[in-house]
Structure 1
Amino acid sequence: MSIEILMPALSPTMEEGTLAKWHVKTGDTVESGMVIAEIETDKATMEVEAVDEGVVGKILVDEGAEGVKVNEVIAILLEEGETEVFAPAEGGGSGPAKGRVEGGASKASETAPVPSPAPKPAASAPSVGKADISPASGGEKDGGDRIKASPLARRIAADKGLDLAAIDGSGPHGRIVKRDVENAQPSEAPSKATEAPASAAPVDLDDPLKAYGIARDRYEVEKADNITKISAKRLSESFRDIPHFPLNVDCRIDALLDFRKRVNAAAEKDGAKVSVNDILIKASALALKKVPAANSSWIEGGHIARHKHADVSVAVAIEGGLITPIVKDADQKGLVEISREMKDLAARAREKKLKPE
């Protein structure tokens, strides 16, 4: 049957987007997983892949069209042997495909088109199905039925180790959406072939950071309130789903350089020389002490570890990449001590004599 290709939702808040580019044209053969278009939102431009196979019967939305609503039909895909292009008519029901593209295939008439000759007797007019296009490859239900799910639902399901075939969709036409995946529970008795790895053991709140080599007397544990839990969840989703980019600013550091000159003059008798980097390490440590929320770690299960000391890691370039040795208790150390320790750490890092921490 003819398949409608719909405008996908690329984020939970997306309502419309721009069809930036078509990678196919009418008459092209489409295979599952093939990139067919590029969709642009206010956050990113993403390639979308076809879930179904067939031949492009008609493109309904022009390349470059703006304000295309989510779930709007943007193209029609014909299965093998089909020659008529059908889509829902404006007044409901089925009729010849109509859309933003005025040229191209023959114009739609108000009367139903005459079916083309078919080798099978009593051939009925093709019905119209729905097809998802997604940035991720789609799966299949048992029996070969396509799983209809939004791109975000697919990503969350993959992160949670959920089988989309076992989830009922509550979106349009039974489509699986974000809330369906979030409300789904992992199967209690998965088969051996699909059994997921055992979940991590419950966090020991008596010593939750033991695995990271952090002594228990160096932090305090407190229970997070509901607002903090929700904020943590939303920030994690944002970091995972939304593209990030760095920002650079120029700083006037005349006062810092003057301060460094005076420090080095006083430390000259000890043979020490403080760098700008050493001063930044100390400043970062003092800032962490001044803002305890920034000097904290999230513990699975809804708890927060508030660190009593400020440890600062510093990137050191070595052959083959970067390593980040840690200046511990930087808030309690002087600039000369930090300078000497940093020189020692950098030398050991380049000689590959540092132990992982």
Structure 2
Amino acid sequence: MAEAVKMPKMSDTMTEGVLAKWHKKVGDKIKAGDVIAEIETDKATMDFESFQEGVLLYVGVEEGKAVPVNGIIAVMGQEGEDYKAALEGEKTEEEPKAEEEQKTEENKTEEPVETTEEKEEPKQEEIPKEKVDTSSIPASVIRMPALSDTMTEGVINKWNFKVGDKIKSDDSLADVETDKATMEVVGYEEGTLLYLSVKEGEAVPVNGIIAIVGKEGTDISPLLNDAPSAEKKEEKKEETPAAAATPDAVAAPRKEEQKEESVAANKESSSNEDSRVKASPLAKKLAEDKGINLNDVKGSAEGGRIVKKDIEEYKPAEKPAEAPKSAESAPAEKAAAPAPVIPQYIGEEKFTEKPVSQMRKAISRSLTESLFTAPHFYLNITVDMDGAMAARTQINTVAPVKISFNDIVIKAVAIALKQHPAVNSSFRGDKIRFNEHTNIGVAMAIEDGLLVPVIRFADGKSLSHISMEVKDFAQKAKAKKLQPKDWEGSTFTVSNLGMFGIDEFTSIINTPDGAILSVGAIQQVPVVKNGAVVPGNIMKLSLGCDHRVIDGATGAQFLQTLKALLEQPIRLLA
């Protein structure tokens, strides 16, 4: 039987995916595990493996096109099989859902008070259903565990067993993709797998039922009926206050209509002549407030247009004197020299537009949230880099890989964060998290946008180790091979534009970090040393801080420590 292949949810923030490339074409035979396409998500471009076997009968989307999560991208089945039935089957499933949603919306909008009463009545009838004793049923419910502190749901990436299989307590039941990584879920129950709640690629909320394990042949319907009752209660509690609020919502537009009618009446009573005079909106408002007739005001802007300045300088007493002045100025204007002729240049206005990539959408969403949620402030400092330049030259004579100035900055930042833990923190709503580990995010520019892979435990790694990791991440980023584990978990971020010749700049904080360091280019400038002006090498640093967790003095002390470490690099080895 032909089966529809749908767009999987490959990350917690993914709403759609772009078909970057098809690896199979219609008519090809596919085995389970074969890569059939490359899908560009809001994080990276990933391989999409088939979990089905058969022949590719239909491709529903062209390369470069976006498809929402759970949208049909292909159909697989037996050779020569009619795939249209599978497509029509998916459409018929969606139509009843749309009709039900319309009906529920109509019921909510019509007579909201009655709907709350109707919803309250069934509560008494449902009480006996909740008291069903499930303790005697020889089966256990396995629920979606909270695998991270921020996890709200998990996506079943892969089922390791199917219904009817025998399971031991230490078997890995499934691979679950969370908001952090993909992890194994152990059932901790023995018996036969009786029920699977969702298909691979579908999400389940935390504490939602994912499977039932028990004695073969057990009736599990009481266990399944036990879950929806709680959900219905929550829906009713949320809908009741919404229904109560509808009278106010109906009354509000009536008040606004009355205000609009009164404003319209005032506008009609104003002079019709004023509306024909050329004037700016601000000038009209000022004239109306001061009771000035616009016909009496002479405009000074182009074409005799009245602006704010004309209203402010207008004096009613000078009105009669203006007529002779204008008559006297008329001959003078005629005698004036002709204006110079400006040559015309004819150009063509044109542009190109491209659809926003998934990565650019993610950057837009996260940085907008950061800038307008976290109150940013910036601190700047200048570092003498003569010592760092001399030290780097000596290190590179013995190091197995070439050490860059950015590697030295990362190491110095990690050590400085150990001495100033308040800067290595993040705002978590009702609490502040002070990280004891130093995971430094390194901003990397790629063709489509920006990625921030993480150097973990950077304070304990050598400069050579840091350099190798940064180079490896850079290659993966350009090839779009970075995985979620590579860019998650930073506690502080470093952004360096010195290689582009940028002297100094400021950056937007990479949430949930509490700060970000912007590194400029090393400049050769005259400096004063021991009372004499000599050539020197300086580098400017800018620290962007989240004022919810970092104060100005705290950030300044961190920069002082960082400056000392960079000016005396031998301290990095202490």
Normalising by the smaller structure, the TM-score range is: 0.3 to 0.5
**Quick check: which has more Rg, 1 or 2?**
2
TM-score normalised by L of structure 1: 0.40
Greater helix fraction, Structure 1 or Structure 2 = 2
Q: Give the structure, 1 or 2, with the largest relative contact order (CA under 8 Å, sep 6 or more).
A: 1
